[in-house]
């Protein structure tokens, strides 16, 4: 496993991040335990969760599964760089969501209890909350850092302007500010290259792409269809909307002798500021398969071919839309 610094911090994380969103929904606790143990065997030390994850098991169930796994000992907690999130609706009352100081404090305490740990390594805001001022948010986060309950603060689904605003205000408070941004980013969804990537590069944030395979679209859907595997109606529509690109893409992957999923993940690892794409395996086999991406290499011609198939927004702003 290769490791890299998370943005401008000194903490070292694996180049793949284990996403746990399926735990408690499609993957039950015993299987989740096996997947997390195998992740450590592979050297994956970066785990991502959120307080709202849990699916049918209820909000918070995913963090509970992680906490039960940590409680087994074996230095599991010490080995893991643990990221979770705050923002989502955790109850019916007015202050049980968002980024008020009140909710941040309560949500952090609840996550710590479910996770059975005394600190969260990276506490991420799951979305921007436009009606809460940064002075309030940073005061709450600073308190958690001073108490040792949070080490680093990250964002998710922020725009470039939000990252700039947040870190400039943090700087005035002599606070480290945001160190990571978790964004939708894959070959077929490259909008963050306009504003978010430049902001992350400027402020030293590590990008953690979510949905790196486009919900499965970049994982060899045409090949799987030929093998008789069925897709959901929603995926079928996406395939038809993108069929020409997918045919070219899977053909290129075949020429490379690589699985489409490996190429999609490997391409992300080549992109500026990307720390670790999030892989969300439902099974042990899916986790093992994801490791194939770490030895994918790209020459300039291959990268150029991928840019032609999935051209993106045209680079950073303003050149993406102006001269």
Domains of the chain: 3-219+259-298 (3.20.20.100)
Select from 222, 266, 273 the least CA-distant residue to 248: 222
> What's the pLDDT at 155?
98
The verdict on whether 249 is a catalytic residue reads no
Instruction: Single out the catalytic residue among 3, 53, 123, 152.
Output: 53
**Residue 2: count of CB within 10 angstroms of its CB:** 11
Q: What is the pTM of this model?
A: 0.94
> What's the pLDDT at 234?
76
CB 202 within 8 A of CB 177: no
What's the full length of the chain, in residues? 323
Select from 193, 134, 127, 135 the least CA-distant residue to 155: 127
For residue 26, give both structure tokens: 């499609």
CB 20 within 8 A of CB 46: no
Low-confidence ranges of the chain (pLDDT < 70): 228, 230-231
> What's the pLDDT at 229?
72
Give 182's strand partners: 156, 208
> What's the pLDDT at 57?
81
> What's the pLDDT at 30?
95
């Amino acid at each position: 496993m290769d490791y890299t610094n998370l943005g401008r911090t000194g903490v070292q994380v694996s180049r793949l991040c284990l996403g746990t969103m399926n735990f408690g929904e499609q993957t039950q606790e015993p299987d989740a335990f096996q997947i997390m143990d195998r992740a450590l065997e592979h050297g994956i030390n970066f785990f991502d969760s959120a307080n709202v994850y849990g699916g049918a098991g209820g909000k918070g169930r995913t963090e509970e599964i992680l906490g039960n796994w940590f409680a087994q000992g074996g230095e599991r907690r010490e080995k893991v760089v643990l990221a979770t999130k705050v923002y989502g609706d955790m109850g019916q009352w007015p202050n049980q969501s968002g980024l008020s100081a009140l909710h941040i404090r309560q949500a952090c305490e609840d996550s710590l209890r479910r996770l059975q740990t005394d600190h969260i390594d990276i506490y991420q805001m799951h979305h921007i909350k436009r009606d809460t001022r940064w002075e309030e948010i940073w005061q709450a986060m600073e308190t958690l850092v001073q108490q040792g309950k949070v080490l680093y603060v990250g964002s998710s689904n922020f725009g470039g302007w939000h990252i700039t605003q947040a870190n400039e205000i943090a700087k005035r408070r002599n606070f480290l500010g945001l160190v990571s941004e978790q964004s939708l980013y894959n070959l077929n969804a490259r909008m963050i290259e306009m504003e978010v990537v430049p902001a992350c590069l400027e402020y030293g944030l590590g990008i953690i792409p979510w949905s790196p395979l486009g919900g499965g679209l970049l994982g060899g859907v045409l090949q799987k269809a030929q093998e008789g595997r069925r897709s959901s109606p929603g995926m079928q529509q996406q395939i038809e909307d993108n069929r020409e690109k997918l045919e070219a893409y899977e053909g290129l992957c075949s020429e490379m002798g690589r699985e489409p999923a490996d190429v999609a993940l490997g391409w992300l690892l080549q992109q500026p500021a990307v720390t670790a794409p999030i892989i969300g395996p439902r099974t042990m086999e899916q986790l093992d398969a994801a490791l194939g991406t770490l030895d994918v290499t790209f020459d300039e011609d291959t990268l150029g071919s991928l840019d032609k198939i999935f051209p993106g927004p045209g680079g950073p702003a303003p050149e993406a839309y102006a001269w």
